[in-house]
Structure 1
Amino acid sequence: MDSKEVVIDTNFFMVPFQFNVDIITELENTLPSYKLTTPSFVINELKGLKKNNKGKTRLNANLALKLANSSKVEIKDISLLENETVDDALLRVSEVLATNDTELKNRAKNKGITIVYLRQKKYIAVDGKI
């Protein structure tokens, strides 16, 4: 795997619509030499959120899908292993992970994965080496 990749998780794709932050531009500015990627299982999770929710969550999931499908993000064809959760799979495939999920951030940190997250609902911060 190319180490110059930022893997974007499901909840990070929802950030722009929750906090009005352009995560793609922010990621490009913060990590200019990195490619933005997301696994296909994150796309499936967003599709599930869109299908199984109403109102704002559904709307945000729909917008997040559009963002994930933009030319700025490469969707990697990665499947979940048997009985594997999305979080477990993200930890398996990521060297740099963009997430705002507290539990996932802690697990990633314990595995030595660099974390990119939204700080103070305004800007992107990096925790770990890049």
Structure 2
Amino acid sequence: MMAFQFNVDVVGELRNIIPSCRLIVPSTVLYELEGIKKRSKGKNKIAASIALKIAKTPPIEVKEMKLQTGETVDDSLLRVSMRSKILCTNDRELRNRAREIGINVIYLRQRKYLDVDGHIKR
């Protein structure tokens, strides 16, 4: 949603930071965005709509995922990110949890550009 909210080319920025990585969005995130879109109005509804369009457009791939018993969307993101050791999020609590288990986090800094918390091999 930050692409709309802060006019940041998230895909372009990610390509600069991690040019050789696949950009994957778990389907659980899409379901969460669809829920936000349905129950929101105004700017949040527009931001969720744009985020959904971006997430479904190449080079981003949607990975079909099911939540495990008792698992939240955040838990599933951490589970999936354990393989690549990279997660892109602006959610502060999720960023802290990722750092605690050794996952590098890409996040929006100063509402202008993406930055890396950790070290990513290019």
What TM-score do you get using the length of structure 1 for normalisation? 0.87
Once the two structures are superposed, the pairs formed by residues 21-40 of structure 1 within 5 Å of their partners are: 21-40=8-27
- Tell me what 2:31 maps to: 44
- Tell me what 2:52 maps to: 65
**What is the CA-CA distance between 1:124 and the residue it aligns to?**
1.1
Sequence identity percentage: 54
- Tell me what 2:2 maps to: 15
Once the two structures are superposed, the pairs formed by residues 1-130 of structure 1 within 5 Å of their partners are: 14-94=1-81, 95-130=85-120
Of structures 1 and 2, the one scoring higher in RCO (CA 8 A, sep 6+) is 1
Letter in 1 for 2:114: I
Deviation sequence 1:78-114 (CA, Å, 0-9, x none): 1111221111111111021000111110000001001
Task: Name the CA distance, whole Å, in 1 between partners of 2:25 and 2:56.
Answer: 10
**What is the CA-CA distance between 1:129 and the residue it aligns to?**
2.6
Letter in 2 for 1:125: D
Q: Secondary structure at the match of 2:34?
A: helix
What TM-score do you get using the length of structure 2 for normalisation? 0.92
Deviation sequence 1:19-69 (CA, Å, 0-9, x none): 110000010011111111010100110111111111111111111100000
Q: Secondary structure at the match of 1:24?
A: helix
Q: CA RMSD in A?
A: 0.9
Letter in 2 for 1:113: I
Task: Name the CA distance, whole Å, in 2 between partners of 1:85 and 1:116.
Answer: 20
Task: Name the CA distance, whole Å, in 2 between partners of 1:15 and 1:57.
Answer: 10
In the comparison of the two structures, how many residue pairs are matched?
Answer: 117
Letter in 2 for 1:114: N
